[in-house]
Amino acid sequence: MRQNTNTLYQIILHRYVTTVKSHRLRTTWLSRFRHQVRLLLLCVYINTHNLHFYILFSFGEDILVNLPPVEVKENDVCVKMIAAPINPSDINRIEGVYPVRPPVPAVGGYEGVGEVYAVGSKVNGFSPGDWVIPSPPSSGTWQTYVVKEESVWHKIDKACPMEYAATITVNPLTALRMLEDFVVLNSGDSVVQNGATSIVGQCVIQLARLRGISTINLIRDRAGSDEAREQLKALGADEVFSESQLNVKNVKSLLVNLPEPALGFNCVGGNAASLVLKYLREGGTMVTYGGMSKKPITVSTTSFIFKDLALRGFWLQSWLSMGKVKECREMIDYLLGLARDGKLKYETELVPFDEFPVGLDKALGKLGRQPKQVITF
């Protein structure tokens, strides 16, 4: 069966070049997609010396290219994408610094929500009009139509707001797994985290509160920090401190009625990670799931010997690779239910696909702190 659609386009974004230190480079344009879709096309420089990929970002002029239709096979589902976010890990994949790199040519995006447009002759679990998400997440959501096997898709409740359906897998699921996988937490316990204004940080606050767990939240000193503090408090944060407030000998003295946390989350690194460690009680665990500052984590000998602290890491993709499709989908339904009922909230900004360059600049932090950018198709 051939999927006939109106004329769709492939978009190539190009204007400025990232400096690449290498010897021999060759340019490869990603123009060999078989899908009749409109998608982000990137100019990739391949360093033939060490086989690393360097993406040259350029978001000025858009060049539209017609693409041929794609075949929908008997076990395939053709999904018309509704929305897909721009996550930091998406940018890392494009930059070539993410541990898992899709073979090129490739389409960006790792999660999103779409509507079933057509199904193959042997597909029984889906019908046109159903809302679905790739679960576990799957590369290639930055395009108007996606054709993949039936097993990739998970049907969801259409009553859930579109922006949450598009973003529920990567960040909220990370927050949920970190709260449940490392330390047994009971009502009355507390956790500490840096990067509290991130989507994961906001989800940690709300999911912890639902369990009766208090949160101590660290934010950076920058314009708008007072507003950010109030926003986190409105979500249920118990304590919110800027890094400058923690320039005291004993940070734990700032805790009035909260217990010392047994669990901490780090997505920043550098000094922000050290502050999380200072809060942890003896035998506590810090889980690192990101490194936004690109600075290493430094741990004192005292922290290891006299506090017996443990350092762990969490990578959602690794957890999902353990054959946890059923568990993943059950948790997605739980999180979507919370979002539908207004018990899980975070700020997003919808960006029409034609304005993708602006959304990407915001996602890269070029325009200051911005809500999660969600492309709409």
Q: What residues act catalytically?
A: 98
Query: Which residues make Cβ contacts (< 8 Å) with residue 264, sequence separation at least 6?
Result: 191, 192, 193, 276, 277, 279, 280, 284, 285, 286, 287
